Structure 1
Amino acid sequence: MQKLLIVLGLVLLAAGLLWPWLRRFPFGRLPGDIHVVREGFSFNFPIVTCLIISIVVSIVLWFLRR
């Protein structure tokens, strides 16, 4: 558990430091993400982005538990 918290903290620190470069990646605008824009209404549902993040987090946690 302690190892997981340390790694999670390091990942958040790295994401914070790399934020200017991470914004250039198309997360939230990938093919398969749903964007609905109407007059006075905007709805975003990033399905593919959520799937990619879930897969990456699952793989990282799998490696940490080995």
Structure 2
Amino acid sequence: MGHMEGLARLLIYIGLFILVMGIILLGLSRLGVTGFRLPGDIYIRRENFTFFFPITTMLLISLVLTILFNLLGRR
């Protein structure tokens, strides 16, 4: 398998993953699940201003994806 073919397969897998996650999120939003906040996420609400910075959520997603890609890359 050439270098370009491997990159093409990786991009296809990433695209399929994004598609599946989008379908799951769409389904959850239709069920009334609007999201979640973990302890450590920054959420500030004022009269006409809302600021949300999901730092803990981003770190958790990064950790899970790092482990997943490392496991898939060791084949």
TM-score (norm 1): 0.76
User: Is the counterpart of residue 13 in structure 1 residue 34 in structure 2?
Assistant: no
Root-mean-square deviation (CA), in Å?
2.0
How big is each residue's C-alpha offset from its partner over 1:29-59, in whole Å with a ceiling of 9 and x where there is no partner?
Answer: 1111111111221111111100011111111
Matches for 1:21-36 after TM superposition, within 5 Å? 21=28, 24=33, 26=36, 29-36=37-44
- 1:4 corresponds in structure 2 to 10
- Partner Cα distance (1:38, 1:4) in 2: 43
Matches for 1:36-55 after TM superposition, within 5 Å? 36-55=44-63
Give 1 or 2 for the bigger CA radius of gyration: 2
- Which is richer in strand? 1
Unmatched segments (≥5 aa) in structure 1: none
TM-score (norm 2): 0.69
- Partner Cα distance (1:47, 1:6) in 2: 28
Amino acid in structure 2 at the alignment position of 1:11: F
- 1:56 corresponds in structure 2 to 64
